[in-house]
Structure 1
Amino acid sequence: MEIADDSKNSKRVVFVTVGTTLFDALVRAVDTQEVRQELYAKGYTHLLIQIGRGSYIPARSTSDNGSVAVEYFTFSSSIAESLRSASLVISHAGSGSIFETLRLRKPLIVVVNEDLMDNHQEELAEELAERKHLFCAHPRTLHQTIASMNLDSLLPYPAGDAKPVSKLINKFLGFPED
């Protein structure tokens, strides 16, 4: 996967997003000592957590203690800048968050919300993980996923081509072909 080499930069940010959902299990998972230690061991310096509507508040910290610095916020009008500046994204399994991150060619760990019924998001995350576009985890396995992840094993997600769909719609509507 073509990932920018930012190892020369002193700040390597992990951006965590729950979208507009309530996903305290993910926020709790990234707030554990195990996850913070694994991120630090992988060279990440900052953890920025978007907690959404959740009630769990992670502990803020600075990097002075030999660990990642932690900040959080509830919502933002746009998370695009946070995604762009991230060295790693940890996200809920919403398709919008997944595909926006993949489009930016950012390494991604998708954490499945096990509390959702009829979880089609898990199917999407597992399929994309099987195709090596991202890593898939559950809140209880996140620290193990981080410890074992090899970013070089990820493959870029191919950009979609809307032309075949456009041609089919035009043909259905009776428009002339280009």
Structure 2
Amino acid sequence: MGDTEDGIKLKKTVFVTVGTTCFDALVRAVDTPEVKDELLKRGYTHLIIQMGRGSYTPTKSGGDDGSLAVDFFTFSSSIADHLRSASLVISHAGSGSIFETLRLGKPLIVVVNEDLMDNHQSELAEELAERKHLYCARPQTLNQTIAAMNLESLLPYPSGNAIPVAKLINQFLGFPDDK
């Protein structure tokens, strides 16, 4: 099996982030037996949940009985380390979280918070899903999305070239054009 090395099960972590918001519906969804079972079926071993301002507390588990090891925290000065070590990221639809994850080349499921008014974030997530850079789900469809996902079908997100924008800003500010 590809998930073992010399008979030792490799750690495959799912990192869930809600950013600085309260998104209890997402935290509740990843805490359900259906989602946890689906992640286990896919070979994931650990689930780390950044729960933000939420009031719902997920169930911790050591994973000793063959279940998913689950841990959580509210905030961290930097989630970059968690993103880097993750095998899969499940995120709220904040553009910062989305683009930081895509820049790291991590597979991503964006879960849209339908409770937000004027939800422009869902438009971004749906557009990037349409372009095959990530999967887009709702809290109630998360386990079906995990069951159906094919991570090999995701396309890398091309890093943007900031040079034209920087040149335009420099020109606007009156700085010389360095060639």
**Which band: TM-score by shorter chain?**
over 0.9
| Aligned pairs for 1:18-57 within 5 A | 18-57=18-57
Instruction: Give the TM-score normalised by the residue count of structure 2.
Output: 0.92
Q: Aligned to 1:118, what secondary structure does the other structure show?
A: coil
Match of 2:10 in 1: 10
CA–CA distance in 2 between the matches of 1:164 and 1:142? 39
Query: Matched residues, percent identical?
Result: 76
Judging changes above 3 Å, is the alpha-carbon distance between structure 1 residues 105 and 6 closer, same or farther for their aligned structure 2 residues?
farther
Q: How big is the shift at 1:10?
A: 1.4
* Offset from partner CA, 1:63-92 (integer Å, 9 cap, x none): 233321111111111111111110000000
CA–CA distance in 1 between the matches of 2:154 and 2:78? 26
Confirm or deny that 1:155 pairs with 2:172: no
Which runs of 5 or more structure 2 residues have no equivalent in the other structure? none
Q: Aligned to 1:39, what secondary structure does the other structure show?
A: helix
Judging changes above 3 Å, is the alpha-carbon distance between structure 1 residues 148 and 7 closer, same or farther for their aligned structure 2 residues?
farther
Higher relative CO (CA 8 A, sep ≥ 6), structure 1 or 2?
1
Q: Aligned to 1:47, what secondary structure does the other structure show?
A: strand
CA–CA distance in 1 between the matches of 2:3 and 2:80? 19
Which range moved further: 6-15 or 103-112?
Answer: 6-15
Q: 4+ runs of 1 displaced by more than 6 Å?
A: none
Which runs of 5 or more structure 1 residues have no equivalent in the other structure? none
Contact 1:6–1:87, Cα closer than 8 Å, also in 2: no
Q: Aligned to 2:64, what secondary structure does the other structure show?
A: helix
Give the paired residue count: 174
Give the aligned CA root-mean-square deviation in angstroms: 1.5
Confirm or deny that 1:105 pairs with 2:105: yes
Confirm or deny that 1:125 pairs with 2:129: no
